[in-house]
Amino acid sequence: MLKKENQNSQANNYIIENFSEHHLDDVMEIEIHANPTPWSKHIFEKILEQRSLSFVIILNSQIVGFCIANKVLDECHLQNISVLEAMRRQGVGNFMLDILKKRMSLSGISTILLEVRRSNKIAQDFYRENGFQELSIRKDYYQTKNGREDAIIMCLKGL
């Protein structure tokens, strides 16, 4: 209960900004420490060119999390979500999903689809905690340092 209250009062200090060019370096810095095969700057630049639901969260002038999501027909494809390592388990991830859902409802979308590495149990717990369900497996979808690994496709319907 106390944890939830602390998270809510911290959330009052978050600034939400649409993902844009000047966030790239800080977002890359989080990505490098969060992803075993980090996205290149070029991929993020491509994202910037698309019609996007993406945003960053800023606390005390520092980017503490980002959410990269696109509208694909009548669904939202959540491509990447990440929290600065020192800020994890403090509700930033939940906060970003809430913001994404609000943005989706403004765009008339009610379904989120995503892929997550089979080995990324923390992210799977995080998504399940937020109501996502496993839909299917995409074999050998991801590159790893020494091979390939499956993606689990997860879905949240009817926001």
Ligand X SMILES: CC(C)(COP(=O)(O)OP(=O)(O)OC[C@H]1O[C@@H](n2cnc3c(N)ncnc32)[C@H](O)[C@@H]1OP(=O)(O)O)[C@@H](O)C(=O)NCCC(=O)NCCS
Catalytic residues: 115, 127
Chain residues 42-101 in contact with ligand X, contact rule CB under 6 A: 81-83, 88-94
- Distances from the Cα of 75 to the Cαs of 44, 70, 88, 153, in angstroms? 20, 8, 27, 14
C-alpha 79 chain-centroid distance: 7
Pick 29 or 108: Cβ nearer ligand X:
29
Question: Token digits for 139?
Answer: 């074999």
On whether the CB atoms of residues 127 and 154 are closer than 8 A, the answer is yes
Chain residues 116-135 in contact with ligand X, contact rule CB under 6 A: 116, 120, 122-123, 125-126, 129
Q: Which amino acid is at 33?
A: H
Q: Which residue number is nearest to ligand X in terms of Cβ?
A: 93
Q: Which amino acid is at 51?
A: R
Least gap, CB of 32 to ligand X (angstroms)? 11
Interacting residues with ligand X (CB under 6 A): 34, 81-83, 88-94, 116, 120, 122-123, 125-126, 129
